[in-house]
Amino acid sequence: MPTRDARGKAMAKLSCAFVGDLHGNLDALEAVLVEMRARGIDKLVVVGDLLLPTPEGAWPAARPREVWFRLQEVGAKLVRGVSDTALYTVRPEALAPRDDAERRATARFLDTRRAVGDFVLARIAQLPERHRMPLPDGSEIVAVHGAPSDPTQEMSHDLDDAELMALVGDDPADFVICAGTHVPYLREIGEVRVINVGSAGAAPEGRVAHVTLLTATPETTSFEQISVAY
């Protein structure tokens, strides 16, 4: 049965872009937004790890504060990821780096906290761990950084079907949109489809942003995974 909106009207075509693991990369975000405009898509969902740069991301090239406010400007739906939670829960005084790699990671963490400020940290703390979307055909998406059963647990491409289904757990959604591993894939497991959106801001291939596009009507629901250069 087709899903209806708040006014009782049946939903028609729905188009949406999903990305994850932006890691403070403003250039990647802007490239995604350009691609969305070219395709006539105005809905964006970001499934976590929004602001904290990765070891591969060159600081100060990352611009986490600008990324946050750009996401607010375009009305993106945001899901809290593991590094997002760390930004507001890990106390700087508790950090005790033991080697050069840990010292670099600590500096990156502290720089990001200072860049975004207390206001943004407080807003991050209020982000949900899951975002649910009804589709025109009556099915449902759950968007979560990790797994529906545990948002901190990655659903990686090298897990077998039984392992992935254990991570889906008893979640009722028909489609699971996740991130965390930086490797995009689509898997159909029984009646559930698992779609990992990869990474927009820290793709292993270099300067490309992974994007998953949704097109849904009362008759069909389809996903397309693309890479956008920046």
**Is residue 186 a part of any domain in this protein?**
yes
pTM: 0.92
**Is residue 8 a part of any domain in this protein?**
no
CATH of the domain at 195: 3.60.21.10
C-alpha 211/C-alpha 228 separation (Å) is 7
Range of the domain at 40: 14-229
Q: Collect all residues with Cβ–Cβ distance below 8 Å to 207 and sequence separation of at least 6.
A: 27, 28, 229, 230
pLDDT in tens, the chain (230 residues): 445 554 445 668 899 999 999 999 999 999 999 999 999 999 999 999 999 998 765 555 689 999 999 999 999 999 999 999 999 999 988 899 899 989 988 999 999 999 999 999 999 999 999 999 999 999 999 999 999 999 999 999 999 999 999 999 999 999 999 999 999 999 999 999 999 999 999 999 999 999 999 999 999 999 999 999 99
Domain count, the chain: 1
**Is residue 1 a part of any domain in this protein?**
no
